[in-house]
């Protein structure tokens, strides 16, 4: 099923393999994804194509400074004829949600989204409503224009399993994109799976074997962000304000299992762990002012940690 999904998505998306793979990891694990990129790199097209290939609902919300929580979750509507209130559900009630430019909305809207991401439920007035599975939020941020934006708080960043930073396509890939869009057009995307198939692959994901040594390797990486001096990394201690949370351990474990499954294995290797570490940790690591002053990035810190901790 995974290969069939990739094939259908690649009918429309050229390149951007990380984005495609991370969307699949999100579907398999039930995690959410934060995507940072300049405009025009097929983010909307990718998640929309995935929804068609899976035969599930997709909705998009453009986040703006004047957005209200009710625009996201819905509201109570008063009917003057009957004198009764009814619930009008918002666009959050879907399977795949694109939260476009999430950092352009104020705190109230972000907190409304936070409840849905964390609890998979929505509270409208006095009633709570469960969100149907599968449910995945793909939020985007534009790194170029920061005027009129609201920085996401650490608590909300921590709810995202992965942060994917997209780069431009290669010149060969862009040549194919131009030809496909301007001349050939897109191929029709076929539905190759359904919700029952998603449930099956989620059950298969839970049976992936993780050796104790590989699990301990994951935990050492996480703990090295909190106590770097204990792992011979005193040189980076002053660059870290706060290490990553326990959710990072959980998400590194889950994403490594999903990565192994996508690669066709029923066990996790250290290679699977290494391939997911940056995406799982980079948005959770809080750097100090000294790191910012010296232009040290979270990726630089994670690279140092991987170099210091012995691979099993």
Question: Under CATH, what is the fold of the domain 2-184?
Answer: Rossmann fold (3.40.50)
**What's the pLDDT tens digit per position in 229-250?**
999 999 999 999 999 999 999 9
**How far is Cα 230 from Cα 223, in angstroms, rounded to an integer?**
9
Q: How many CA atoms lie within 13 A of 199 on its CB side?
A: 5
DSSP 230: G
36 forms bridges with which residues in the sheet? 141, 165
Report the candidate in 240, 235, 233, 236 with the shortest Cα–Cα distance to residue 289: 240
Element holding 52 (H helix, E strand): helix 43-54
Q: What is the pTM of this model?
A: 0.91
Greatest CA separation for the chain: 72
Buried b (16+ CB within 10 A) or exposed e, 64-101: eeebebebbbbbeeeeeeeeeeeeeebbbbbbbbbbbb
Confidence of residue 299 (pLDDT cuts 50, 70, 90): very high
89 forms bridges with which residues in the sheet? 74
Asked whether the predicted pLDDT for residue 149 surpasses 80, the reply is: no
Q: How many CA atoms lie within 13 A of 29 on its CB side?
A: 27
Confidence of residue 300 (pLDDT cuts 50, 70, 90): very high
Average of per-residue pLDDT across 268-294: 95
Homologous superfamily (CATH) of 207-308 is Magnesium chelatase subunit I, C-Terminal domain (1.10.8.80)
Do residues 220 and 309 make contact, with C-beta atoms less than 8 angstroms apart?
yes
Q: Are strands 136-141 and 96-100 parallel, antiparallel or unpaired?
A: parallel
Return the pLDDT at 138.
95
Return the pLDDT at 148.
60
**What's the pLDDT tens digit per position in 180-227?**
877 776 778 889 999 999 999 999 999 999 999 999 999 999 999 999
Rg of the chain taking only CA atoms, in angstroms: 21
Average of per-residue pLDDT across 103-131: 84
- Residue-range domain boundaries for the chain: 2-184, 207-308
User: Which residues are within 8 A (CB) of 226 and not within 5 positions of it... i.e. 6 or more apart?
Assistant: 243, 244
Report the candidate in 135, 133, 136, 192 with the shortest Cα–Cα distance to residue 1: 192
Query: Is 2-184's fold the same as 207-308's?
Result: no
Return the pLDDT at 220.
96
Q: Are strands 84-89 and 74-79 parallel, antiparallel or unpaired?
A: antiparallel
Terminal Cα-to-Cα distance of the chain (whole angstroms): 31
Looking at every residue in the chain, the average pLDDT score rounds to 90
Secondary structure class of 7 (helix, strand, coil): helix
């Amino acid at each position: 099923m995974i290969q069939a999904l990739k094939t259908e998505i690649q009918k429309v998306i050229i390149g951007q393999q990380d984005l495609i793979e991370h969307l699949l990891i999100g579907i398999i694990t039930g995690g959410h994804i934060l995507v940072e990129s300049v405009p025009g790199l097929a983010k909307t097209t990718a998640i929309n194509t995935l929804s068609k290939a899976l035969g599930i609902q997709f909705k998009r919300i453009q986040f703006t400074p004047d957005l209200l929580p009710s625009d996201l979750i819905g509201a109570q509507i008063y009917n003057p004829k009957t004198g009764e209130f009814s619930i009008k559900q918002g666009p959050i009630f879907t399977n795949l949600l694109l939260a476009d430019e999430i950092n352009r909305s104020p705190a109230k809207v972000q907190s409304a989204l936070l409840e849905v991401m964390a609890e998979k439920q929505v509270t409208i007035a006095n009633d709570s409503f469960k969100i149907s599975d599968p449910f995945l939020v793909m939020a985007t941020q534009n790194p170029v224009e920061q005027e009129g934006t609201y920085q996401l708080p650490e608590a909300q960043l921590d709810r995202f399993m992965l942060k994917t930073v997209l780069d431009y396509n290669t010149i060969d890939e862009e040549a194919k994109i131009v030809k496909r869009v301007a001349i050939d057009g897109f191929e029709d995307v076929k539905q190759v799976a359904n919700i029952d198939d998603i449930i099956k692959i989620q059950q298969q994901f839970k049976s992936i074997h993780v050796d104790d040594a590989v699990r301990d390797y994951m935990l050492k990486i996480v703990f090295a962000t909190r106590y770097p001096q204990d792992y011979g990394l005193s040189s980076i201690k002053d660059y870290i304000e706060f290490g990553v949370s326990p959710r990072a351990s959980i998400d590194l474990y889950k994403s490594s299992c999903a990565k192994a499954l996508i690669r066709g294995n029923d066990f996790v290797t250290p290679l699977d762990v290494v391939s997911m570490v940056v995406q799982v940790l980079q948005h959770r690591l809080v750097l100090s002012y000294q790191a910012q002053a010296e232009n040290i990035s979270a990726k630089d810190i994670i690279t140092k940690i991987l170099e210091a901790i012995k691979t099993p």
